[in-house]
Structure 1
Amino acid sequence: MTSQHLITPEDLQKLLASNPASVLVCDCRYDLVDAELGRRAYEASHIPGAVFVDLGRVLSGQKNGSNGRHPLPDQRVFAEQLAGLGVNADTLIVAYDAPGGSYAARLWWLARWVGHSKVVVLDGTIDAWTKAGFELTPTKPAARSRGNFKQGVSLTKSVDLANMRAGLGRADRLIIDGRPGDRFQGLNETLDPKAGHIPGSLSRPSKDNLNADWKLKSPEVLRAEFARLLGDRKPAEVVASCGSGVSACHLLLAMELAGLSGAALYGGSWSEWSAQPDASIELGAAKA
């Protein structure tokens, strides 16, 4: 079923058939090792009408060597990019990616970050679309006229490196790390120069938000699972982190679905934290 944050393939197909101008479908497929894999997959076949939105070029800002692999873009610039894609104030943005990916959730979070509430993720990814019997196409859509979207009041929260340092060890701060468990423990770090996790973090791999069919777990299941992590802490005390601020957005999407609003994103995440010469690091399983 379609919710405030998710849309089913069936409901998306109906929208595209009845009022395609009201929807902007965004293909967010990407690969952290092969940065051009998503674009090649899009050019081969994609959901009809979809535009390609690249993690490195659109959903991230400029790197300076110490601010992480996918730093958050400038809010004003990103809002302008949405308008350039044809987004109006009332346009429904639908983000999708490949099975197991969190890149659609990054677009979902960023759109809300610049004040656009009408944004959803295709539940089950492109895999669910094809399993539902709907077609893919290699044909790129015609460019849309510039939209009227303007940056508005942010609907999400973020924290920076200074805030993370100041909050380290505080009783009212809970860091949840969305990387796979082996990377969290420092056993298999292949993307960043240093291994481990931010001290005091808890591990919640983003894949744990999903069922075997790549669809998000039910709100009730997600709420129960996150409640075990939070204990007596409030969602507003949570900061979601990961490798570079991507799968952490998937954690925040899952928390929203669970009715646990108010958590923040650490956009730089481990790739920024570990790049600091004086960074404190923990290895192994979570201590709490």
Structure 2
Amino acid sequence: MSTAAKPWAPLITAEQLQALLQQTPPPLLLDCSFDLADSGAGERAFLDRHIAGARYAHLEHELSAPKSPEGSIRGGRHPLPTREAFAEVAASWGLTPERGVVCYDQQGGPYAARAWWMLRWLGHGAVAVLDGGLAAWQAAGGPVESGEAAPAQPASSYPLGDTTMPTVQADTLLRQLGRVTVLDARAGERFRGETEPLDAVAGHIPGALNRFFKDNLGSDGRFLPAAALRATFEAMGLKPGQVVNQCGSGVTACHNLLALEHAGMNGSALYPGSWSEWSADPARPVARS
């Protein structure tokens, strides 16, 4: 794997990353660890231990736009910023189109997948998620450090490229129900409407299928082999380019998007507002099962 600007495979092993770090320039390392129940936990974990040379990417400060005013139904709990706004964030990290990026977290990859998807959405092809995260890196003998990241050397700007990551908005999705496959990445009990710890309404988008994002992983915390994932997705009736991915707020849905691409089933879309936006409008239909 090279740090050229051509698209990378979505996943990278710890051993491949060790080789990349010997090149000039080395890839930008983003630690995306986070906890939805404690927004400061990921940064504390980063300060305690992270891959040597990594910087911290905060889900709510850098991988999301500010929430809409109280009472608004737009954007959900983790609104997607504009591509222009995220390009400014990428430039602040020192990212240029020629430099590779490797994202990781300590939670099985959902937050790293969000960063991966957003960078691909920005038009940056040379980005991958570290398969197995920090645990896999340490198991391979990779060096770690603690404390604050070294100050970044910002780039003057990051030029927007063509995106290969489509999005779908709520009104469009409502019109398309029954004609596209909606894939919900939340845990089964939330999908079925048995419990809802984060949003005001329990349930799911009518007609959606459920694929809990953690089911993409094996017992070792790494993604399942591409062939195994493809067989599962095909058994669910998923077809490349005909899937709209959602979750609670557009974050863990990116894990399914990454798994689909790892399986060779490219072209799926993200509904960024996801259930937190959909369920906030009482006019939108809700299913429970």
Q: TM-score range by the shorter chain?
A: over 0.9
Query: Structure 1 residue 148: deviation in Å?
Result: 5.0
Aligned partner (choices 38, 42, 45) of residue 34 of structure 1? 38
Conservation of the 8 A alpha-carbon contact between 1:174 and 1:238: yes
Aligned partner (choices 234, 238, 247) of residue 242 of structure 1? 247
Conservation of the 8 A alpha-carbon contact between 2:121 and 2:165: yes
Pairwise mapping of residues 113-128 of structure 1 onto structure 2 (< 5 A)? 113-128=121-136
Pairwise mapping of residues 153-168 of structure 1 onto structure 2 (< 5 A)? 153-168=162-177
Pairwise mapping of residues 134-283 of structure 1 onto structure 2 (< 5 A)? 134-139=142-147, 140-146=149-155, 148-170=157-179, 173-230=180-237, 234-283=239-288
**Structure 1: tracts of 5 or more residues without a match:** none
Conservation of the 8 A alpha-carbon contact between 1:99 and 1:126: no
**Structure 2: tracts of 5 or more residues without a match:** 3-7
Distance 1:190 1:30 in 2: 17
Query: Structure 1 residue 71: deviation in Å?
Result: 1.1
User: Residue 103 of structure 1 corresponds to which residue in structure 2?
Assistant: 111
Distance 2:160 2:76 in 1: 24
Conservation of the 8 A alpha-carbon contact between 1:175 and 1:239: yes
Conservation of the 8 A alpha-carbon contact between 2:88 and 2:157: no
Distance 1:8 1:197 in 2: 35
User: Residue 9 of structure 1 corresponds to which residue in structure 2?
Assistant: 14
Query: Structure 1 residue 147: deviation in Å?
Result: 5.5
Task: Specify the SS of the correspondent of 2:28.
Answer: strand
TM-score (norm 2): 0.92
Distance 2:117 2:154 in 1: 24
Q: Aligned pair 1:54/2:58, yes or no?
A: yes
Distance 1:49 1:4 in 2: 22
Query: Structure 1 residue 16: deviation in Å?
Result: 1.9
How big is the alpha-carbon RMSD for the aligned residues of Structure 1 and Structure 2? 1.6
Query: Structure 1 residue 188: deviation in Å?
Result: 2.1
Distance 1:210 1:251 in 2: 11
Distance 2:156 2:105 in 1: 23
Conservation of the 8 A alpha-carbon contact between 2:31 and 2:57: yes
Query: Structure 1 residue 100: deviation in Å?
Result: 2.5
Q: Which amino acid aligns with 2:195?
A: N
Q: Aligned pair 1:44/2:48, yes or no?
A: yes
Q: Which amino acid aligns with 2:49?
A: S
Distance 1:97 1:189 in 2: 25
Query: Structure 1 residue 155: deviation in Å?
Result: 1.5
Task: Specify the SS of the correspondent of 2:270.
Answer: strand
User: Residue 132 of structure 1 corresponds to which residue in structure 2?
Assistant: 140
Q: Which amino acid aligns with 1:30?
A: F
TM-score (norm 1): 0.93
Conservation of the 8 A alpha-carbon contact between 2:92 and 2:152: no
User: What is the aligned-residue identity percentage?
Assistant: 44
CA offsets 1:102-126 (integer angstroms, 9 cap, x no match): 0000011000111000100000011
Distance 1:275 1:103 in 2: 23
Distance 1:113 1:18 in 2: 25
Distance 1:81 1:58 in 2: 7
Conservation of the 8 A alpha-carbon contact between 1:241 and 1:266: yes
Q: Which amino acid aligns with 2:145?
A: T
Distance 2:88 2:163 in 1: 15
User: How many residues were matched structurally?
Assistant: 279
CA offsets 1:182-219 (integer angstroms, 9 cap, x no match): 11011121011110100000011011111111111111
